[in-house]
């Protein structure tokens, strides 16, 4: 996984008015947990937005007043009207502790069903995985070359080295669906044979 830098400062005041003041200053309140203690902090919203408005997954090297923490984003809360991030939870990452995180899926190859007139659809853009941070890939690549018309790939059929998939095993990740044009062409050929 890629690493990205983020600067933050510790928060001393934790009430509603202090949090409101932080947001007026263009900062986002954060909580870092998973370590020995829970730490309350704040980061600049413009720097934080670079982390959340990307399909990539990062380990964040958080510089908290000179002290370094390796963290991942665990949860983000958004304003219901403006969609701005208003609060973030970070989980501290350790080399020997497995983490749970969602990783984007990328489909590789030209599916056999697409050649036959079908349409390839990606049903799950991200899959939840568990593993050590060093073993988690940037992206989960799935080969769809042998995927036929009307067929699908489920989570249970996938296997990745050193990580465990946590989604339901019967959940569909990708499928080749029959298009109207392919269905009409199939019906015409059946009518000609008869």
Q: Domain of 24?
A: 2-93
Residues 118 and 78 occupy one common structural domain: no
The CATH number for 115's domain is: 2.170.120.20
Within 13 Å, how many C-alpha atoms sit on residue 34's CB side?
Answer: 20
Strand pairing partners for 116? none
Q: How many domains does the chain have?
A: 2
What is the SS3 assignment for 132? Answer: coil
Q: What is the pLDDT of residue 172?
A: 92
39-61 residue pLDDT tens: 888 888 888 888 887 777 878 88
131-157 residue pLDDT tens: 988 888 889 999 999 988 888 999 999
The CATH number for 84's domain is: 2.40.240.10
70-99 in b/e form (b: 16+ CB < 10 A) is bbbbbeeeeeeeeeebbebbbbbbeeeeeb
Pick the last residue of a domain from 78, 93, 108: 93
192 DSSP assignment = H
79-120 residue pLDDT tens: 888 888 888 898 998 888 898 888 999 999 898 888 888 889
The pTM of this model reads 0.75
Residues 76 and 157 occupy one common structural domain: no
77 DSSP assignment = E
Show the tokens assigned to 81.
């009207």
Residues 31 and 104 occupy one common structural domain: no
1-36 residue pLDDT tens: 678 888 888 887 777 888 888 888 888 899 998 888
Confidence of residue 73 (pLDDT cuts 50, 70, 90): confident
Residues 62 and 123 occupy one common structural domain: no
Residues 133 and 180 occupy one common structural domain: yes
Name 133's Cβ contacts closer than 8 Å, sequence gap at least 6.
Answer: 1, 59, 70, 72, 93, 95, 99
Residues 83 and 134 occupy one common structural domain: no
14-27 in b/e form (b: 16+ CB < 10 A) is eeeeebeebbeeeb
In whole angstroms, what is the distance from residue 101 CA to residue 50 CA? Answer: 18
Residues 45 and 62 occupy one common structural domain: yes
193 phi/psi in degrees, rounded to 5: -70, -30
């Amino acid at each position: 996984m890629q690493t990205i830098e983020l600067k933050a400062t510790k928060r001393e005041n934790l009430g509603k008015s202090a949090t409101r003041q932080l947001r007026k200053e263009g900062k986002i309140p954060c909580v870092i947990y998973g370590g020995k203690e829970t730490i309350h902090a704040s980061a600049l919203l413009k720097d934080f937005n670079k982390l959340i408005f990307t399909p990539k997954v990062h380990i964040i090297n958080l510089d908290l007043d000179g002290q370094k923490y390796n963290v991942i984003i665990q949860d983000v809360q958004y304003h219901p009207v403006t969609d701005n991030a208003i609060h973030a939870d970070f989980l501290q990452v350790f080399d020997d502790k497995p983490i749970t995180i969602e990783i984007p899926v990328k489909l590789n190859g030209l599916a056999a069903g697409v050649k036959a007139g079908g349409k390839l659809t990606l049903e799950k853009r991200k899959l939840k995985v568990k593993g050590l941070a060093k073993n988690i890939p940037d992206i989960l690549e799935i080969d769809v070359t042998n995927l036929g018309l009307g067929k699908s790939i489920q989570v249970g059929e996938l296997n990745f080295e050193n990580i465990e998939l946590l989604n339901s095993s019967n959940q569909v990740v990708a499928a080749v669906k029959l298009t109207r044009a392919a269905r009409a062409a199939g019906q015409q050929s059946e009518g000609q044979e008869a």
